[in-house]
């Protein structure tokens, strides 16, 4: 599949160069790519699910290695693998049920045959004698065409049976691919509409005259707050600017455009303002299996302030952000460092960058992490596209989306 491989290589390059930003865009592109891989995959008559699983794992390994900190890639790969296993199990169950039905019908036929009149003992003896009597030449000549026709009938019956079995296998392979692609299409649709599904729950959580605090910029948070505004809820939003990228400036501008009362504050003012806040509502980069959250840098500070003042800390996350791994798993890369140029101007601080020590290392080091880790003990509630959940329930919710065999994306030795 050269065309599909070219698409895979192009997507890998985009992931490596961080050309695709945001978990939703990454998850949607990953699901669409895997759908193309499945559609182009030629699968054998036997071990059809295994062939699809190996093909998806082969591509999944490349995608995860290209950007290991974007956990949405691995989440979607595992979701698609789970879909393949579920659809194969469904077809197998249906086949077994069909065999059971045919067995029952055969038993009914036997019962009907038993209802036929039984031959008498005399008739049975006469038939036995006729069988034991040596045939005459005329009988042999008369039986030749009949035997030939019987042989041809049985032979054609065997051929038709073989063809029907081959057709059944071919149709089952097409059925498996069709069902898997349909399920992946539903997954893509769920990813695309997760904002709307989460926003529908806003009126249940945001009440009149409340003060909401958030940090940085999140489309999920934006749609959630605007949905409450459309339901005639009157409230104020404090937006922490989210240094050093200052994404909070963009969110504050969008909220004002949508008609919400908005106050922009610095990140360092969060602890001073938290006592006036009724609820903290933030987005997430990923939700781990233990209920911990990978979030934009600065949110752990906000969570600690909310815990100190007993303010509910609510996390909004689509199902594509639910990760079946734990923070201590070796496959998880919790953070990455961004360019120091976001913190300072190299021209202004060029003197500090000189190698002024005998060890050859610079005097000034600039650390610019991308994410924070918020432990589950600091999270009051998760709101996903399936509803609201406590952090202690997240492991059970995540288990519904993934198979235990797919936690580590690695091709089998037979498939590689």
| pLDDT of amino acid 285 | 96
Determine what percent of the chain is predicted with pLDDT higher than 70: 77
What mean pLDDT is predicted for residues 127-135? Answer: 47
Closest CA to 409 of 84, 181, 1, 73: 73
Residue 130 has pLDDT above 50, yes or no: no
Q: Tokens for 193?
A: 């509409």
Q: Is the pLDDT assigned to residue 333 strictly greater than 60? A: yes
pLDDT band, residue 103 (cuts 50/70/90): low
Is pLDDT of 279 > 90?
Answer: yes
pLDDT at 357 over 80: no
pLDDT class of 244 with cuts at 50, 70, 90: very high
| Per-residue pLDDT band at 322 (split at 50, 70, 90) | very high
How much is the average pLDDT of 268-295?
97
Local structure of 17: helix, strand or coil: coil
Q: Where are the alpha helices (DSSP H) in 288-355?
A: 299-308
Average pLDDT over residues 284-295: 96
Flag whether pLDDT at 304 surpasses 90.
Answer: yes
Beta-carbon count within 10 A of 309 CB: 13
Q: For residue 65, what are its two tokens?
A: 């290695």
Q: Which of 32-46, 334-348, 388-402 has the lowest mean pLDDT?
A: 334-348
Mean pLDDT score across all residues of the chain: 85
pLDDT for the residue numbered 183: 97
The tokens describing 238, both together, are 């404090």
Q: Where does 194-401 sit in CATH, by number?
A: 3.40.50.10470
Q: What is the pLDDT of residues 167-180, one digit of tens each?
A: 555 666 678 999 99
pLDDT value, residue 194: 95
At 148 the pLDDT is: 46
* Mode of pairing for the β-strands spanning 293-296 and 371-374: antiparallel
CA atoms within 13 Å, Cβ hemisphere of 234: 1
Q: Which of 230, 197, 232 is nearest to 316 (CA)?
A: 197
- Length of the chain as a residue count: 416
The CA radius of gyration of the chain, in Å to the nearest whole number, is 33
pLDDT in tens, 146-156: 444 445 554 55
Which pLDDT score is estimated for 98? 73
Q: What is the mean pLDDT of residues 239-260?
A: 96
**Are 367 and 335 a contacting pair, CB within 8 Å?**
no
> In this predicted structure, what is the pLDDT of residue 108?
52
């Amino acid at each position: 599949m050269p065309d599909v491989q070219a698409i895979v290589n192009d997507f890998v390059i985009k992931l490596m160069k961080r050309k695709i930003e945001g978990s939703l865009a990454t998850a949607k592109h990953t699901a669409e790519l895997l759908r193309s891989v499945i559609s182009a995959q030629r699968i054998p008559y036997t071990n059809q699910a295994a062939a699809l699983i190996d093909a998806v794992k082969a591509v999944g390994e490349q995608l995860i290695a290209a950007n290991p900190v974007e956990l949405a890639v691995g989440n979607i790969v595992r979701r698609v693998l789970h879909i393949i296993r579920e659809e194969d199990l469904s077809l197998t169950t249906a086949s077994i049920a069909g065999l059971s039905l045919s067995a029952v019908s055969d038993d009914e036929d036997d019962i009907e045959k038993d209802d036929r009149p039984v031959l008498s003992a005399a008739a049975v003896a006469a038939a036995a004698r006729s069988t034991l009597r040596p045939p005459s030449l005329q009988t042999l000549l008369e039986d030749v065409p009949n035997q030939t026709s019987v042989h041809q009938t049985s032979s054609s019956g065997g051929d038709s049976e073989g063809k029907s079995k081959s057709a059944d296998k071919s149709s089952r392979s097409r059925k498996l691919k069709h069902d898997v692609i349909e399920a992946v299409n539903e997954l893509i649709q769920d990813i695309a509409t997760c904002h709307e599904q989460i926003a529908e729950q806003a009126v249940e959580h945001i009440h009149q005259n409340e003060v909401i605090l958030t940090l940085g910029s999140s489309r999920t948070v934006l749609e959630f707050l605007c949905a409450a505004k459309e339901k005639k809820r009157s409230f104020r939003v404090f937006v922490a600017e989210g240094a050093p990228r200052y994404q909070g400036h963009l969110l504050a501008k969008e909220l004002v455009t949508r008609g919400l009362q908005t106050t922009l504050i610095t990140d360092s003012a969060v602890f001073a303002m938290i006592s006036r806040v009724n609820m903290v509502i933030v987005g997430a980069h990923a939700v781990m299996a233990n209920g911990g959250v990978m979030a934009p840098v600065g949110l752990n500070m906000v969570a600690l302030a909310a815990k100190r003042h007993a303010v509910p800390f609510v996390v909004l996350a689509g199902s594509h952000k639910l990760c079946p791994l734990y923070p201590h798993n070796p496959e998880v890369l919790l953070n990455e460092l961004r360019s120091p140029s976001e913190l300072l101007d190299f021209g202004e601080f060029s003197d500090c960058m000189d190698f002024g020590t005998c060890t050859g290392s610079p005097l000034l080091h600039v650390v610019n992490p991308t994410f924070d880790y918020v432990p589950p003990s600091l999270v009051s509630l998760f709101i996903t596209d399936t509803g609201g959940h406590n952090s202690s329930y997240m492991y059970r919710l995540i288990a519904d989306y993934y198979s235990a065999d797919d936690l580590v994306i690695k091709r089998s030795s037979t498939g590689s």
